[in-house]
Structure 1
Amino acid sequence: MALLSLVTAPDIQQRLADSVRLLRKTKKLSRKALAEMSTVPEPTIKKFETTGQISLRQFLLLWQSVADLGSFVDLAKQAEDKLIQSQPRSINDVLRS
């Protein structure tokens, strides 16, 4: 069962889009230059930056062009570790919960 959250998927999509835009601008890249680096079409980058809508594959291509993909590997690992830690390790753990 998922916990109630005030953060929605569209909120996170827009936050990621804002991050890509900020990183792009910090690196002084135009959308056209980022499109050439990432192979993501320029109109797709514009749509992503304004709406947050993009495929996961294209997002990862953009992210690796402006930042380190390792942060997403770390995020996945944290989620896995949290899940593993919440699993019972013995019959006593099961009986206690």
Structure 2
Amino acid sequence: MISLISPSKALRKLAENVRSRRLNAGLTQEGLAERSGVALPTLRKFEQKGVISLESFLRLLLVVGGLEELIEAIKPVKPAFSSIDEVLKEEASPRKRGRHK
């Protein structure tokens, strides 16, 4: 799958989303930092530049919401085939066409 968003843009978008969730929850930066255990300078840097450790990011999501959705979003996709034999069998199957009336 090809992504049209760069990692730096993704980081900034994540920071914007967490900031929006913080504001919607009526939390100040100080309040979110205190509740999450993330240092205030770390939170400020994240909201400004999108830079943060994964553990701190997850702590923020625990407070503002979204942790469960993140875990769900990155679940592995079940492969269509469980073995190479299934792939080869699929390739060998004749094409099926509709009937002409």
Give 1 or 2: higher helix fraction.
1
Equivalent residue letter for 1:62: L
Identity across aligned pairs (percent)?
A: 31
Contiguous gaps of at least 5 residues in structure 2: 93-101
Are the counterparts in 2 of residues 88 and 94 from structure 1 also a CA contact under 8 Å? no
The TM-score, its normalising length taken from structure 1, stands at 0.82
Cα distance, 1:76 vs structure 2? 1.7
Contiguous gaps of at least 5 residues in structure 1: none
Compared with structure 1, are the counterparts of its residues 4 and 85 closer, same or farther at alpha carbon in structure 2 (3 Å cutoff)?
Answer: closer
Quote the residue 1:56 is aligned against: 54
Partner of 1:85, secondary structure, is: coil
Which digits, 9 at most, give the CA deviation of each residue in 1:43-82, with x for residues without a partner?
10000000000001000000111013110111122xx12x
Quote the residue 1:33 is aligned against: 31
Q: How does 1:7-18 map to 2 (within 5 A)?
A: 7-18=5-16
Structure index of larger Rg: 2
Quote the residue 1:94 is aligned against: 88
RMSD of aligned Cα (Å): 1.9
The TM-score, its normalising length taken from structure 2, stands at 0.79
Are the counterparts in 2 of residues 40 and 62 from structure 1 also a CA contact under 8 Å? yes
Compared with structure 1, are the counterparts of its residues 92 and 41 closer, same or farther at alpha carbon in structure 2 (3 Å cutoff)?
Answer: closer
Within the candidate set 44, 47, 71, 1:46 is matched to 44
How many pairs were matched up? 91
